[in-house]
Structure 1
Amino acid sequence: MTLSNHKLVTSDNAAYEITATVREAVAASGVTSGICVVFVPHTTAGVSISSFWDPKGLEDVHDDINRLVPTRIDFKHQFDTPQDAAGHVKSVLVGVSLTMIIDQGLPLLGHSQGIFFNEFDGPRSRQFFVKCTND
């Protein structure tokens, strides 16, 4: 088993492709057949798999998430800002972890799938973890 910690700096409300970083972490782990978990330890961010083919698709995803959970001042909880409160809800909806199969030393993804860190607050200094285990 290996665990790697990765850092990134985000702007507000955007998706960041982390596919290459996850692939590098899997390769560095030496695991050729097993499971890879990507975990985001933040309450206003998430991780997802989506198409990388057209970056506008990710903008559509974030636009719709913002339509579903708009920033507003009537949340029952207000930590730092109304955007932070909305970010908590968005993080719960999107999720903070992914589990992928490792096959032949690579995370198993579809032809046009990529792994994305989703910032729902920001700008922030963020981190995510990649853990790989053998079968």
Structure 2
Amino acid sequence: MLKNFKLETDRSGLFDITPLVEDALASSAVNDGLLLVSVPHSTAAVTVVSPWDVLGLEDVHDEICRLVPTRIDFKHQYDTPQDAAGHVKAAIVGHSKSFFIDGGKLGLGHSQKIYLWEFDGPRSRNIQIKVMKS
């Protein structure tokens, strides 16, 4: 079962998509299997972070921006320097994550949430969630 969701981002940064993922799992009625979350975009990624300290979310975003700053000396400049930096950040973080399903529950730790990581916002984004029974 593949579910598609739209998300309008209002900025670059982290957006909690855990409720979308949990809803897709609940509607699938799969008790054991795998769940894949993917974003079909070259300037967005999927990651897992603890949300309990909001400043931690800012730290995570600030550090990827420090590691790959927006700059004008990228060799590829199709759109903007932010777009070029977004391609590199998304390639490092990854466009998808997979999770096991056990007893109808998603394989996340108690302090983990799933995030769409927007590197070139604001944008209209698609989120694809595939639930597979084992």
Shorter-chain TM band:
over 0.9
Please give the residue correspondences for 1:84-99 in structure 2 after superposition, counting only pairs within 5 Å: 84-99=83-98
1:102 and 2:106 correspond: no
For 1:116 and 1:126, how far apart are their aligned partners in 2?
A: 13
For 2:105 and 2:18, how far apart are their aligned partners in 1?
A: 11
Please give the residue correspondences for 1:65-76 in structure 2 after superposition, counting only pairs within 5 Å: 65-76=64-75
Q: Give the TM-score of the pair, scaled to structure 1.
A: 0.97
For 1:84 and 1:16, how far apart are their aligned partners in 2?
A: 18
Counterpart of 1:134?
133
For 1:9 and 1:110, how far apart are their aligned partners in 2?
A: 27
Q: CA RMSD in A?
A: 0.7
For 2:82 and 2:45, how far apart are their aligned partners in 1?
A: 15
Q: After the TM superposition, which segments of 4 or more aligned residues of structure 1 sit over 3 Å from their partners?
A: none
Give % identity: 56
Flag the structure with higher strand content. 1
Q: How far does residue 43 in structure 1 lie from its aligned partner after superposition?
A: 0.2
How many residues are paired up?
Answer: 134
Counterpart of 1:120?
119
Q: How far does residue 56 in structure 1 lie from its aligned partner after superposition?
A: 1.4
Deviation larger for 104-113 or 64-73: 104-113
